[in-house]
Structures are given as C-alpha cells and as structure tokens.
Structure 1
Amino acid sequence: MRKELYLFAGGKPERTVIRNYDAGDFRQLIEVQKASFPPPFPEELLWNAEQLAEHATRFPEGALCAEIDGRLIGSMTGLIVNMDDYGHAHDWETITGGGYIRNHNPSGDTLYVVDICVIPEYRKSGIGKWLMQTMYETVVQLGLDRLLGGGRMPGYAQHAHEATPEAYLENVVNGVWKDPVVTFLLRCGRMPVGVAREYLEDEQSNNCAAIMEWRNPFK
C-alpha cells in the first residue's frame, strides 16, 4: 500500500507518503515512539525491533507509517481478531499479544488498533486522521465488520475524584470536557461503545481506555 498527499504544518504544504513499514524503518519507528510517548508513559511499552518484525511479517497491511522526505513522522499498527474470543472487558496486553500480534487471526471479523502515534511537530497537520482513514480503507478492502480499539483517556486522572471513567467519557462526548485522545478519535469518526478498566498501565488515564469503533458502511 502506498498513497501520497499534502500535509500543512506551519502553513507550508509538505508532500507526504503513507505506506506499509518494513525492517528498514524499525530504527526510525522506535524514535517516533519515544517522541510521541514521553514519560510518564512506561518506556517498556514502546516498540522494540522484535515486535516491529512481527507486525511487518504477520499482518503487513496493518503496519502503516507516514514519511516526509525520508523522515518518519507517525505510524499506526493493527491486527485482525475475532471479538467473540475476547469480549468487551479485554485489556491491551491480551488482545494484542503483548504488542507482538502473534494472535493475529486472518479469519477474524475486526481490525483491532494496536497503536497510533505522531511526533509532536506534526500533531496538528492531520496526519493522524489520514493514518486512521487508511486503516478504515483496509477494513473495507478486507471485508471486515469494523475497526475497534482502546483509546487512552489522558485527561481522566485530573477528574477521577469526581467522575467514573464512564462518566468522564460521557462528558467528553457531550463537550463538557476535552480529552486529547478521545476527542481526536471522535473527529476521526470513531464511536464509543464502552470503557475498559485496567486496560493498560497508564497513570494519566487511571489505567482506563475508551473502547471506540468504526463500522464498515458496506457490510
């Protein structure tokens, strides 16, 4: 897969490529992760070369990166699962195989988002939304039912004393509060279907995640 488009960062159009990543990209992908998820995000949750090799070989269609003039600025990774095998109350470690996606099931019904990240310099350029759109296209191309994933709720910790994670998510959806991740996913067309507690070690989200989906409109 390869597509070209123009991003506007700082008012200047920049020719950008979205494509599948491979072994030649691993060093840069790890640097993108470090820039995208600084502390207090746990460093052990950042990609390593072995995980990236699994992504690129087990499900290359779900291994996407964005590149400008040879420099990677973002990435997105997914795998296919059958959600009947996991249910609603799942966690990131289980459903992504610890990030190694060795549980990838080509016969499944759902493209599950393992990760999406964009370096800070390009976060207002629209590239995150383009990566998501490309993954939606993959859902359609493969005839899957939907895209699903757990979104961090990094604004929740400051409201945990006054709201459950479900109430926090409802307030974000209703525009009472803003959350950088959940609001981004809403703008990408993702719909909230619930909250998973103890989803991922993440003190900013109190370990919670908003489970959000995009349904294949052709199914």
Structure 2
Amino acid sequence: MATANGKAALNGAHSSKKGNKLGPATAAIDERLTPTAVPAHKLVLRQLRRADFKAIKAIMEKVYSNMEGAWTADEFANLLRKFPEGQICIEDNGNVVAAALAIIVDYSKFGDKHTYAKITGNGKFDTHDAEGDTLYGVDVFVDPEYRNLRLGRRLYDARKELCENLNLRAMVAGGRIPGYAAYANEMTPAKYVEMVRNKELTDPILTFQLTNEFYVRKIIRGYLPYDSESKAYATLLEWINVYYDEEFDKLIGNPKSNVRIGIVQWQMRATKSLEDFFQQIEFFVDTVSGYKADSSLVRAI
C-alpha cells in the first residue's frame, strides 16, 4: 500500500518455483480515447526496467506530494532485483504513466496485524520469498493526468494473472482510506468502511479496491502511522485465487519420500540404424512409464 520507507500508495498499501510468465495481459494494447481522443493514446503494459526510475520518481512526486515523495534509486533497483516479474507498468507512446509493484511473501510469517514497514522489510524487500504463497501489493500509482482511463484496473488484472500463473493462494494489500478524515469525528473506521461497502459513501481508494473484487479482511491501526488522511487506519484487502492448486504447490520442487525406479535389462545386439536404436529405447521408456516410474535404469548384458 505504501512505498519504501512508508511512502503511501494508491492501493493503499498495494522467481519462483511456480513460474515467471506474465501471460497475454502483457501484450501491447492500442486504444483511442473516446469521444474526443486527441491525440491517440498508445498504451503498452510491460515489466519495469531500471531505466524507468526517472519516470517513476516523477509520478510518485506528483501522487505523494503531501506524504514522503518518491523512492530512492537504490530502493527501486533492489525491488527489481528481488522480483522483476512483479514490477509492471503502463506506458503511453513510450512514456511510463502508471505502475504496480509487488513481492511474494509467506503470509503465515506476518499475519493480519503487520505494518507496511514490517512486511516490506523497511524498503529493503528482504521479506520477498519466492517460495511464499501470497502476492503482496507494495504500491500502485497512476499519473494524475491519466486518471479515468481505467489504468488501475488494467494493472490489477495483470496482477491477478500473475498470481494465477505463479499458483499463489491470494493477493493481499494494505489499503489507505483517505476519505475517512472527513468523517473521523462522526463515525468509527469500521462504520466508514461499511458505508463505503454499501455504496452510501465513496472513498477514492477503497471504492476502487472493492470494484476490483477485493474484500476487506480486517481494519488495521498503525499500518502507516504518518497517514493523517486515513488517521493511521488501513483496510487489509484480499483477493482469492480460485485457481490455486495446493497439491501442485506441494509436489513441484519438493523432495519425494518415495521414488519408483524402472530397471531395464538391455541385451546387447546389432541394430540396423540409429533410428532403430531409438525405437527400442522408446519402447522401454514407454513400458516403465506405464508402471508410473519416476526414472529408469538401464543395465546392459
């Protein structure tokens, strides 16, 4: 939800053994704004690069001018080094205009009462765990000049696809509730969240999160202590990956307690050709596969 050193993000907070592809969501997207598209926008979703830091810094200084501004170049580079697949952006005609950043964590090590500083390792991101089960949203931001183009939704769709491709259980983020400041003297944070959820009130961040299929798991106090707009409160948001395969997670990359070996006793004989030799090998491989062998051992006689 926030950035390194606690710089707040749009989503509030918000490889691996399982894979590292981003999938078709990273394909180039050309679109024209309607109804008065002048000039045409050419939007492309891609992974961030170190060379993008200058553009990222400029956007963050616009978005977080009332907080702690942009990350340092070292913090940005560290995140790219830890988990490059999780750092994505949207560019328009070659210029970065929006970005979403994430890490993978073993959520059981942190639980629901964590702070932004704790789960991001105070901006060092040494909490990133390629063997973890949860995609944690570090930051999302959009250049103010590109609001209302649904770029945030596109970034979240790409995050969801990444979560599915890496077979992660869920996506979690801490979400700021900046609209709460205007109602803090009238109601509790829980009441405010309930009214936003019931569409009786609108919050610039929480409303967006709810429309993107997140649900409020918990309300956290002290998540970003300096966030005066949210009165230091945040919503713990979660999106569940319905395609998560727990058995797949257990089988891939983990040691087996039992291994089945197929032993082939090969009688040396002359072969007509190399192709004939390969056909014989294929026969034995198919045979031991039928017995669900994990590997085969050939003994020549």
TM-score between both structures, scaled by the size of structure 1: 0.94
Largest Rg, 1 or 2: 2
Can you list the C-alpha shifts for 1:137-167, whole angstroms capped at 9, x where unaligned?
A: 1100000000000111000111111222122
- The amino acid across from 1:207 in the alignment is A
2:144 aligned partner: 120
1:205 alignment partner, SS class: coil
CA contact (8 A) 1:136 1:147 kept: yes
Can you list the C-alpha shifts for 1:85-105, whole angstroms capped at 9, x where unaligned?
A: 111111101011123312101
**CA distance, structure 1, for counterparts of residue 243 and residue 219 of structure 2:** 26
Higher strand share: 1
1:107 aligned partner: 131
**CA distance, structure 2, for counterparts of residue 7 and residue 209 of structure 1:** 35
CA contact (8 A) 1:195 1:208 kept: yes
Unaligned runs of 5+ in 2: 1-21, 245-301
Is residue 46 of structure 2 the alignment partner of residue 22 of structure 1?
no
Give the one of 216, 229, 234 matched to 1:209: 234
Shift of 1:207: 1.1
Deviates more, 1:8-17 or 1:187-196: 8-17
**CA distance, structure 2, for counterparts of residue 94 and residue 160 of structure 1:** 26
Matches within 5 A, 1:165-176: 165-176=189-200
Can you list the C-alpha shifts for 1:64-110, whole angstroms capped at 9, x where unaligned?
A: 11101111101110001111111111110101112331210111110
**CA distance, structure 1, for counterparts of residue 117 and residue 204 of structure 2:** 23
Give the one of 81, 91, 100 matched to 1:57: 81
Is residue 154 of structure 2 the alignment partner of residue 130 of structure 1?
yes
2:299 aligned partner: none
**CA distance, structure 2, for counterparts of residue 204 and residue 42 of structure 1:** 14
Shift of 1:10: 6.1
Name the Cα RMSD after superposition.
Answer: 1.4
Is residue 57 of structure 2 the alignment partner of residue 5 of structure 1?
no
TM-score between both structures, scaled by the size of structure 2: 0.69
- The amino acid across from 1:214 in the alignment is W
**CA distance, structure 2, for counterparts of residue 10 and residue 114 of structure 1:** 32
**CA distance, structure 2, for counterparts of residue 7 and residue 149 of structure 1:** 29
**CA distance, structure 2, for counterparts of residue 174 and residue 111 of structure 1:** 27
CA contact (8 A) 1:42 1:202 kept: no
Shift of 1:9: 4.6
2:41 alignment partner, SS class: strand
2:266 aligned partner: none
Is residue 207 of structure 2 the alignment partner of residue 183 of structure 1?
yes
